[in-house]
A and B are shown apart, each in its own frame.
Chain A
């Protein structure tokens, strides 16, 4: 353990190892939290116009029990059966997710915006027997269901558990105004019906705890799908132990910044994504915090009412979210006054954004790092310790991280190599993908596909994704570095940098830029790059677009930009003639 140099720099009070996990499984942890905070509000769903509804810890626990009973006794699922969930952030999400776990089943998180073919692939891969889906997208089911093994469909309304008048208005708006609820033609059970059935059985003496008899920390809890390092969508198998450990590891790095029973966290990232799942849904819940669930954080003005109406003390997000808020006038004039800290993950937190965030909110923002395959947190800048911008921080307790060369040998500090990690949060493998698993997990080490280097204090810095690296005349160009430089210009809102095949240099650099008002010229951007970057790193072209393709959490999808390159970009070069059909993601 002599190479774990970061341990010397842990903030006071943070142990090098998390204590032996005191819970039998994830529901055990959830239940204890619910008992401790039974009468406090656990979740508040906040619509863009301020309409809202809440559930208390006790209610969430009871409703999740009812759903568990429904799954086991009415549907007849067995322990380990997969249940796919396609829900945006809403009050039903915790009820359904916790219910599945309490039933001893496996939760397969699915992006609700998926197309029919993506759904079919994922449900089949997971072998899902049941599906819980938001009614807005249930019109895809007639196409999807016949090709899968799904026998039971539970439909959820976005307005579930909101006060009845409010729910009625939202329902009417959806049905008659925005027409976002298509008729559902397949056989299904509305969530309230499922819960009622579960409640009835419970009164008849059903015992939820009995479902978990065989479920321990090694049991599979969640199938979390990811493109991973090789691009094929596959399910990372996260066990109860992975998730419980990672929750405790993450909390250890937050010190006294998360006060039990006192925090209000803004949950703008989707809960079906591993970051919000572990950190917000499980982590903050465990600490008795109130989660403010935002169904859609875009446009960022959707967060205005939530930040006005609730004393938000924590914000978790990605660079894109923080950056977007820093471009909103209402946010700049009234930054959340109760805010204590913010945590960024999912993608690199730009130095300029971090600095501006601290300046505007007068609170710390720290960057962490992890992968779906690691539940996800591997490293974190310690709150209460030394925070280093531009780094992903130091490994969380009980975690070993190192940079290795091509041969797999550890590199000394200051040398860049692939980041590999070992710890209790590392997945069990990819679901039914032994070859992919073997390529990623070697001797217990997770190979992340990220190029990183460690400094003398044991802080890590991500150089870039291995596969995003651009090779210009044999020189490595890391898109992150170029993007960081471009967004330093105040007239640039976002930038994405990718490789373009080039007859002379093999590959050349192209920048996609979302301009602010007033828009910069291509020449200005290039001049700025030339000033700060070596010649071969300077983009050969700047393409202005209205928006960059992003993942559900707001990560810029370079692979979509590469597709744009391959398709002979429809995006216009002139900022005044921007394409509206340019790259756009989900």
Chain B
């Protein structure tokens, strides 16, 4: 999925040498996500999903934070920050930000949930759930908050194939891994370890490749845009986490809800922009918040994960893990 984000972002880059994401990189990224999801799935049993269904509170609250709080948060950030900018820049930037707040959770959220010792079963269910709902909820949220920024002739395109691809990448390897694990716990455990290992590599890879490619973009952007791109993820995670804690979800599930809510499907937002505004002269501005968000969410989520892990220390074992 990230191949799209990279190729889309490459359009912003001034140097034509850096524009194209190679076929190799695309294949590698998809393969990487596939391996990671396989690894995450190898740690799960059908029980984990049934448990999440039995206590649907996590799913319900996740739905609320995802489609009620996140778009509203994006709206507040737009009001408070983006509208300070010149109107000709503000409208496309605002639309990009609102879109970013209205898309469902991305696959990256599962990886961070895994590392922050959250509830992976719940995480996967939430991603699946919000991705399916996105077909209805993303346009609806945009309509509610984004009306004033939209061009009159806009034909908003929700890329169904993109949504299908997200679900396939999410569910196929997970299901396959669960079957493998059922028959060989050893192979499952190795895949899980490798998934975690590749997950770390993936996060580093994203940051390491994105920054050099897009440094010009970083230099020329107003601080308000940064604040929105960072704030959307950071406040999204924080608010959702505390909402979940407030209704007394288990801390493990609250961590999951927080990460699921704050971590959006950046590539999906980018795809929506590309499909809905194919010839817009403002394409670059429309893509700016989704692109910056996609970078900073990796950093924000890493910081939050480290915090969650530290907060989680009390529950962790004090004896050497292998004894």
Contact = CB atoms under 8 A, between A and B. Distances in A.
A333 B51 CA distance: 7
Contacts of B86: none
A329 B122 CA distance: 14
Interface string B307-323: 00000001111111111
Interface in B40-61: 43, 45, 47, 51, 54
Interface string A279-305: 000000000000000011011001001
A246 interface: no
A170 interface: yes
Interface size on B, as a range, is 20 to 34
A49 B322 contact: no
Interface in B267-323: 314-323
B322 A166 contact: no
State the main secondary structure of chain B at its contact with A. Answer: helix
A584 B317 CA distance: 13
Interface string A301-334: 0100100110000000000000000000110011
Interface in A244-295: 295
A134 B323 CA distance: 10
Nearest to A270: B323
B260 interface: no
Given A49-B192, A329-B250, A166 B186 contact: yes
B317 A50 contact: no
B318 A584 contact: yes
A49 B317 CA distance: 14
B185 A51 contact: yes
Contact of A112 (B45, B181, B190, B323): B323
Interface residues of A, number: 35
A180 B193 contact: no
A319 B45 CA distance: 28
A47 B189 contact: yes
Given A49-B189, A50-B181, A296 B47 contact: no
Contact of B47 (A295, A298, A334): A334
A358 to B, nearest CB: 22
A48 interface: yes
B188 interface: yes
B47 A299 contact: no
Interface of B: 43, 45, 47, 51, 54, 181, 185-186, 188-190, 192-193, 250, 314-323
5 contacts: A50-B185, A134-B323, A136-B322, A174-B322, A546-B314
Interface of A: 47-52, 88, 112-113, 134, 136, 158, 163, 165-166, 169-170, 173-174, 178, 180, 295-296, 298-299, 302, 305, 308-309, 329-330, 333-334, 546, 584
Given A88-B323, A178-B321, 18 more contacts: A49-B189, A51-B185, A51-B186, A136-B323, A158-B322, A165-B186, A166-B186, A180-B320, A295-B323, A296-B319, A296-B320, A298-B317, A299-B317, A305-B185, A330-B47, A330-B51, A333-B47, A333-B51
